[in-house]
């Protein structure tokens, strides 16, 4: 077993652009975004799609939280098949794109509906392109998630968050030695401490509005107590024991486009039910309680304009609503 967790490379790193720089043009109705509620990398694209109002032009398929070596499966859909793509296993779309495909079958993945082929699973580039290449289809009042004046700062900060936090919890959970775990655990909480200090007197990570940097950090924070603290042994503290980050996470949870994308039951079903090397019994914990996500956070006092000069997104599509908190 490898001593340190290394994330596998992506297999289909194409781009969907409006400027002619790729073979895949931006086109309403041509593609379907396949995600899973459990996955933080997919959650990033779900949030961006919601904030930008791309639901009418980019449909979304939702794989269930459970899978095996055959890949993500649409086991929550009628007949265990995605209603648009007609497939049971997401692997089918990868193999249509690349016969004999032998890399990771990951979400998010964008599939061309007509051909059934995966176009890209490059989540970072996809988020950027949704924000910068799909502008003709953005809703009125859509926020600027990558403001030009702050792009370098967003990318620099996001790189730190990726290595130490987003991927850091996985480095803790899948460490193959005590030393590897200790290094990952130390780096994770050192970064969380630094982020807590940064956010103590500012509402958002970069500038005074929500940017992609917030999206990238938040998807890990929202899963922290439900999965990473116990399942991945990222347990120096719970999120609820880190006052600044807990308030920041609640602030975003209560912001349209964030909390309305989260299904805690599916998050726990996935992590505890799929990672049998870590949790051999597959038993899914009942807790933690989630009602605290709706309690006052007080961060309005720090100012900031969540959507800049824009407006909040409308309610999610009925078919994309998540269960209420309990």
Cα 149–chain centre separation = 24
Q: Are 11 and 98 in contact (CB under 8 A)?
A: yes
Active site residue 39: yes
Residue 109: partners with Cβ closer than 8 Å, 6 or more residues away: 12, 33, 34, 90, 93, 94, 118, 120, 121
Cis peptide before 108 (omega within 30 of 0): yes
What angle (nearest 5°) sits at the alpha carbon of residue 210, between those of residues 204 and 214? 65
Annotated active-site residue in 123, 170, 181, 204: 170
Cite the DSSP H helix spans in the chain: 40-52, 91-97, 123-132, 151-161, 168-173, 178-199, 212-221, 243-253, 264-274
Q: Are 144 and 308 in contact (CB under 8 A)?
A: yes
Coil, strand, or helix at residue 149? Answer: helix
- Which among 95, 102, 99, 126 is positioned nearest to 31, based on CA atoms? 126
Annotated active-site residue in 31, 39, 204, 248: 39
Q: Are 33 and 61 in contact (CB under 8 A)?
A: yes
CA distance 116 to 87: 9
Residue 64: partners with Cβ closer than 8 Å, 6 or more residues away: 36, 72, 73, 74, 75, 76, 77, 266
Q: Are 143 and 39 in contact (CB under 8 A)?
A: no
Coil, strand, or helix at residue 111? Answer: strand
Find the radius of gyration of the CA atoms of the chain. 19
Active site residue 181: no
Q: Are 312 and 255 in contact (CB under 8 A)?
A: yes
Q: What residues are labeled active site?
A: 39, 170
């Amino acid at each position: 077993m490898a001593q340190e967790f290394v994330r596998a490379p992506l297999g289909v790193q194409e781009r969907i652009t409006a400027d002619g720089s790729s073979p895949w043009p931006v086109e309403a109705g041509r593609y379907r975004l396949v995600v899973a509620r459990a996955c933080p990398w997919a959650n990033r694209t779900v949030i961006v799609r919601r904030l930008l109002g791309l639901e009418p032009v980019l449909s979304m398929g939702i794989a269930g939280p459970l899978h095996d070596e055959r890949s993500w499966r649409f086991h929550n859909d009628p007949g265990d098949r995605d209603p648009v793509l007609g497939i049971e296993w997401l692997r089918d779309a990868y193999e249509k794109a690349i016969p004999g495909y032998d890399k990771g079958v990951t979400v998010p993945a964008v599939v061309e509906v007509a051909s059934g082929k995966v176009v890209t699973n490059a989540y970072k580039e996809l988020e950027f392109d949704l924000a910068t290449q799909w502008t003709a289809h953005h809703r009125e009042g859509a926020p600027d998630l990558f403001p030009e004046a702050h792009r370098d700062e967003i990318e620099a900060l996001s790189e730190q968050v990726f290595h130490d936090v987003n991927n850091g919890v996985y480095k803790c959970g899948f460490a193959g030695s005590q030393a590897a775990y200790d290094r990952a655990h130390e780096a994770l909480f050192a970064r969380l401490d630094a982020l807590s200090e940064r956010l103590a007197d500012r509402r958002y990570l970069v500038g005074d509005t929500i940017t992609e940097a917030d999206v990238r950090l938040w998807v890990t924070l929202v899963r922290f107590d439900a999965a990473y603290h116990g399942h991945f042994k990222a347990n120096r503290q719970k999120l609820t024991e880190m006052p600044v980050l807990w308030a920041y996470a609640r602030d975003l949870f209560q912001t349209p486009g964030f909390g309305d994308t989260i299904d805690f039951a599916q998050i726990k079903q996935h992590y505890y039910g799929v990672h049998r090397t870590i949790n051999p019994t597959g038993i899914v914990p009942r807790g933690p309680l989630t009602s605290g996500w709706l309690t006052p956070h007080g961060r309005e006092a720090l100012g900031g304009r969540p959507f800049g000069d824009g407006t909040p997104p409308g309610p999610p599509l009925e078919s994309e609503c998540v269960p209420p908190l309990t």
